[in-house]
Amino acid sequence: MTTNNDAFIKRDRLRFTKNKLSSNLTLLAILINAFYFVSVYKCDVGTYYYKWFIGISVLYNLVFMLVAFLSSEGVKSYNIKYSFPLIAIGILQVVRIFILPLQAKNAVITLDGVEQAVMEDGKFFYQSILLVASGVLCVIAGVVNIIKAQTLASHQAQIDKETKGSKS
Amino acid sequence: MSDLQLQHLDKIYDNKVQAVFDFNLNVRHGELIVLVGPSGCGKSTTLRMVAGLEDISAGNLIIDGKDVTKMPPKDRDIAMVFQNYALYGHMTIYENMAFSLMLRKENKNEIHQKVLSAAEMLGLSDQLNKKPGQLSGGQRQRVAMGRAVVRTPKVFLFDEPLSNLDAKLRGATRREILLLHKRLNATMLYVTHDQTEALTLADRIVCMSMGHVQQVGTPLELYDTPANLFVAGFIGLPPMNFFDAEVKNGEVVCNGFSVPLSAEDKAALERYEGREITLGVRPEDIVEGGKISVDVFSNENLGQTTLVNGTVGKHRITCKFREWCTYKPGDKVNVSFNRMHFFDKKTTDAIRL
C-alpha cells in the first residue's frame, strides 16, 4: 500500500488523521466571537441596549457557539454535512455587523441633557473586524472540510477499486 | 542497530538498598538477551537503568561505543515496551504509533509510511482508526511494539510484555516477538520471570537472583549445564529434584537410595569423596525401571507426558514420564536416573571436571 508518490501519501494520510485544521479554525472563530460580545455589551450607554433585539443577540450568540462547537467536532472526522452550517453561520457573522454594532454606532442618547454616541467609531470598527474574522474563519473551515472530505472520498474509492481489482 | 555494553553496573537506592550488584554484559548487534529471575531479583531495575528511567549508581552503560550513562532517556535512542502497554487512550492506534515521530518533528509523509509498514508487519492495518480501548490485550501489546518499531531505535527493551496476556495469547505474541526480532535483526533486551519465554526467545539468557548475575549463556547451556543450584532449580519445568547426598566409594549415597557413578562423574567428584554434596536430577531425566523405589502420592496426566510425584526416603521427587500413566497414591514405582547434576553443598556451585 505504501508508495513513494508524495501526493498519494498526503491523500492517504487523511484516512488516519483528523481534520484538525477545520476544527481549530472553528474553535478560534468561537473565541473571537466571545471577544466580540464582551466588547459590544460593555459599550452600553444608559439603557440603550435594553430593547428586544438585545435578547435576540444574546440568544444568537449562544446558538452560534453551540452550532460552531458541534461543527468543530463534526468536521474533525471529515463529515461534509457539518460544513454547511459552518458556512452559514460564517456568512451570518458578517450580516450581524449591520444589526447591533451599526445601529449602536448610529444611535445617540441624551444623558443629563447631554447628547452622547452609544458606540464610538473605534469600537465599531473593532467589533466589525472581530465579526468578519470569526465569519471568515467559519467559512474557511467549512470549505477546507468540503475539499478534504471530497479528496478522502475519492481516495477511498480508488483504494476500494484497487483492492477489489486485486482480489478478483 | 547496535552493540550494548553494561559494565560493572550497580544500583543503590537512596535508602541504601542495593538492587543490582556489579552487572556485566556485552550484548552483540542483533542479539536477543533475556533477563530472567524471580520477582525482586533486579532484572527490571537493570532494564530501567539501560532505559534511563533509573540512575546508574556505579558503572558504565555503552551503546554503540558511546557512553550514555549520564544521558537522559530521550537522547539514548532506546524504545521500551511495557507490561501495561502505556498507550494513550484518547488517541487512535495510528496516532499512538506516530506520536513519538511527531514529537521529533519528522516529515509527516515519512511518518505515515513508517506507521503503515509497522502496522502491516504486526497485523494491525485494520485497527489503525480504533482507540486502544477497542482492542484486545494482544493487539494492544502489538501496538506498543509497533510504537517502538516505527522509531527504529538502537536498542529495544521489553519489560515483561506478555505478563498481562492469557496463556494462549502469550504464546502467539511470543512468536510474534521472535518473528519481529528476526525481521528487524534488532538488538533486544527482554525481561521476564517466565522461563518458558526465556528459553524460547533468547539468544542468550542472563539468570539473576538477589541482584547478582548467576549465569549468562544460551538457553541450552543454562538447561544442560547450570552454573549453580539456583539456576538449576529455576530453569526447567517442573524444576529439578534435589537430594542431599554423600560421595562414597564411587557411589552417590542418598537417604533411601544410592546411585553408582560413571567414570566421568567419578573423576569430577574425586575431591568430594566422603563429603556431602547436593544431587540434582531433572524430572525428564528420570525413567521407569531401576532400583530406586518411589512411593507415589499423585499422578498428573498432561496428555503426552505424566508427572508422577512421590517420595524417595526423606526426599520428595517429581518424575516426568513420556507416556500416559495411571499410578495411584500408595503405588510404588521403580525408577533410574539418565543424567545427574552435582552441586557443592557449601558454595552451591556446580561440580564439573
Using CB atoms, which residue from B94, B108, B113 is nearest to A2? B113
Q: Do residues B42 and B213 lie in contact, with contact meaning Cβ atoms separated by under 8 Å? A: no
DSSP string, B316-334: EEEEEESS-----TT-EEE
Cβ neighbours around A62 below 10 Å, total = 10
Q: Which residues of chain A have pLDDT under 50?
A: 1-2
The secondary structure of residue B273, as a DSSP letter, is: B
Residues of B in contact with A76 (CB under 8 A): none
Amino acid at A112: D
Contact with chain B for residue A20, Cβ under 8 A? no
Sign of the dihedral defined by the CA atoms of residues B61, B65, B68, B73, in that order: negative
The three-class DSSP label of residue B345 is coil
Q: In chain A, at which residue ranges do the beta strands (DSSP E only) sit?
A: 108-111, 114-117
Interchain pair A13, B128: CB under 8 A: no
Q: Do residues B4 and B190 lie in contact, with contact meaning Cβ atoms separated by under 8 Å? A: no
**pLDDT (tens digit per residue) in A63-91:** 999 999 999 999 999 999 999 999 999 99
Chain B interface, Cβ < 8 Å to A:
92, 94-95, 108-109, 112-113, 115-117, 120, 125, 128-129
Q: Do residues B46 and B35 lie in contact, with contact meaning Cβ atoms separated by under 8 Å? A: yes
Please tell me which residue of chain A has the smallest CA distance to B120: A1
**pLDDT for the residue numbered B166:** 86
Using CB atoms, which residue from A2, A6, A16 is nearest to B94? A16
Q: Do residues B299 and B328 lie in contact, with contact meaning Cβ atoms separated by under 8 Å? A: yes
ipTM over 0.85: no
pTM: 0.81
Whole-Å CA distances, B161 to A69, B85, B143, B146, B150: 41, 8, 12, 13, 18
Please tell me which residue of chain B has the smallest CA distance to A11: B109
Residues of B in contact with A11 (CB under 8 A): none
Q: Are strands B286-301 and B4-12 parallel, antiparallel or unpaired?
A: unpaired
Torsion of CA A55, A59, A60, A62, to 10 degrees: 150
Please tell me which residue of chain B has the smallest CA distance to A8: B109
Q: Which domains does chain B have, with CATH numbers?
A: 4-233 (3.40.50.300), 238-344 (2.40.50.140)
The secondary structure of residue B351, as a DSSP letter, is: P
Interchain pair A13, B108: CB under 8 A: yes
DSSP string, B10-59: EEE-TTS-EEEEEEEEEEPTT-EEEEE-STTSSHHHHHHHHHTSS--SEE
Interchain pair B109, A9: CB under 8 A: yes
Residue with cell 515496551: B81
Please tell me which residue of chain B has the smallest CA distance to A16: B129
Per-residue confidence in pLDDT tens, chain B, 353 aa: 468 999 999 999 999 999 999 999 999 999 999 999 999 999 999 999 999 999 999 999 999 999 999 999 989 999 999 988 889 999 999 999 999 999 989 999 999 999 999 999 888 999 999 999 999 988 999 999 999 999 989 999 999 998 888 888 888 888 988 988 998 888 999 999 999 999 999 999 999 999 999 999 999 999 999 999 999 999 999 999 999 999 998 899 998 899 999 999 999 999 999 999 999 999 999 999 999 999 999 999 999 999 999 999 889 999 999 999 999 999 999 999 999 999 999 999 999 87
The upper half-sphere exposure of residue B25, i.e. CA atoms within 13 Å in the direction of its Cβ, equals: 32
Interchain pair B112, A13: CB under 8 A: yes
Nearest to B56 by CA among B65, B68, B39, B64: B68
**pLDDT (tens digit per residue) in A8-24:** 999 999 999 999 999 99
Per the structure block, which three cell numbers stand in for B254?
Answer: 542418598
